[in-house]
Amino acid sequence: MSAFCAANQLKLEVLVYDNNGPLFEDLASGHIDVAGGHLTVTKDRLQRFKFTQPINNTSVSLVTHYEYRDIEQLSELNGARGFLLKGSSYVDYLTQFNAQQQKNITISDDHSLFDIIREINSKNIDFTLGDSEIITIYQNFIPGLYTPVQVSNNQKVALMTHHNQSTVLLEKLNQFIVDKAQSGLFETFKEQLLSYIPDIDTANTVTFFKKLQTVWPEVRDWVYAVAKALDFDPMLLAAISYQESHWDVDATSITGVKGLMMLTRYTAKEMGVTDRTDPIQSLQGGVKYFRTMKNKLPERIRDTDRTKLALAAYNMGYGHLEDARILTQRNGKNPDLWSDVKNYLPQLNNPDVANTLKHGTADGKTARTYVENIMIFRKLMAWQQQKDKN
């Protein structure tokens, strides 16, 4: 939608919904003009709304856990507990379950699909239905998800407008979709989306969600207070402190780093921290040190890349980051792009390569994982923050 609005000199305001119920209510009332988010074209929706030209295709699959991973048909789910999203197209497939199974299926408007998927991972729920492409993305974050049965054939995915919406908007949307489909824009968007999925161990996200429920409430006020005082992104600060210490204010490593932000004695002194186990001081020191790393980077580097490169420097030292950037440039790639630099960080673990550089060997593999983990934890924190607001 941002590309469409930019092309038509329109202002874009994005509203996020946990599920389709409130989304459809706001679309029907005219509170919003266009609805998106992997919405399939169904007969029921065609009676209530207008659809644009399709932007994608998908299919609906059964989503379940390990115990049902080998089933071949829905009838094998007898006794299993299911959840479906109210207002979703998945409810249309209720008739594919027998009468007894339907009694064990809850139609919920209090959850998002992500909530239900997490409950399946915990085996509090046995199954749900979901779009294959969405589930493929979730499988990068949550382990133990299986899709043994495809419930539907391919379906069209499109944007929706309400019936009273001006035909001019729909016509412009359709023309934009046709033009950009031919130019390959939508395939590019899909590739970009997948490129943002880091190589993260799904077990790490399970631990993260547990800590989010149990430990985060204890440190939340400190993180928000420091972020506000220092004009820093609170979700990024939350993600860094989680990656460093799992939000343990008394954390200490075998190398002697301590506190929420796991500061060394030298770094703490440089940043004016007198007590590394004091949560406020630790967070303040971490922000100051991160900004020190970020400010050393050339101003020409765009902010998203500067943030990731600065995080790598926070983890392994600025000198080693510069070595990685030099190595990236030696190989004909762009030293200002994280997507290029991250591919050469692991070579710092190789003495034959690292000893040709100024600062020698370093654990570049860990630094790359460190950055990727923080960026996904930041996204998950932002998702949680949005959910709390709603």
> For 104-116, how does the pLDDT look when each residue is reduced to its tens digit (9 = 90+)?
999 987 777 877 8
pLDDT at 279 over 90: yes
Could you read off the pLDDT of 13-23 as tens digits, one per residue?
A: 888 776 778 88
Residues noted as catalytic = 244
Given this model, what pLDDT does residue 209 score?
81
Q: What does the block give as tokens for 100? A: 């007894």
pLDDT at 388: 59
CA 249 to centroid of chain Cα atoms: 26
Measured CA to CA, the distance from residue 374 to residue 177 in angstroms comes to 34
pLDDT confidence band for 389 (50 / 70 / 90): low
Percentage above 70 pLDDT, the chain: 93
**Which residues is 107 bridged to in the sheet?**
84
The predicted-structure confidence for 88-145, as pLDDT tens digits, reads as follows 888 888 889 998 899 999 998 777 787 788 788 778 899 999 888 788 777 766 767 8
Cα–Cα distance, 248 to 222 (Å, whole number):
13
pLDDT at 205: 72
What pTM value is reported for the model? 0.59
The tally of CA atoms less than 13 A away on the side-chain side of residue 171 is 3
In this prediction, residue 250 carries a pLDDT of 92
> DSSP secondary structure string, 302-318?
-HHHHHHHHHHHHHH-H
Amino acid at 183: S
pLDDT, averaged across the chain = 87
Say if residue 157's pLDDT is above 60.
Answer: yes
Higher pLDDT, 290 or 179: 290
pLDDT digits 0-9 by tens, 171-221: 888 888 888 777 776 676 666 555 545 455 555 777 888 888 899 999 999
Q: Which SS3 state, helix, strand or coil, does residue 278 take? A: coil
Q: What span, in angstroms and rounded, lies between the C-alpha atoms of 82 and 52?
A: 32
The SS3 call for residue 8 is coil
Of residues 38 and 59, the one with the higher pLDDT is 59
**pLDDT tens digits for 305-363?**
999 999 999 999 999 999 999 999 999 999 999 999 999 999 999 999 999 999 999 99
- Please indicate whether residue 247 or residue 12 has the higher confidence score (pLDDT): 247
Model confidence at 72: pLDDT above 80: yes
Give the per-residue pLDDT at 104: 92
Query: Which of 28-37, 122-131, 156-165, 256-265 shows the highest mean pLDDT?
Result: 256-265
pLDDT at 298: 95
Q: How confident is residue 12, by pLDDT bands cut at 50, 70 and 90?
A: confident
**Cα first-last separation, the chain:** 22
Q: What is the mean pLDDT of residues 25-31?
A: 88
Residue 280 three-state SS = helix
Token pair for residue 337?
Answer: 């792009």
E strands of the chain, at which residues? 35-40, 49-51, 56-58, 60-64, 82-85, 105-108, 127-131, 155-162
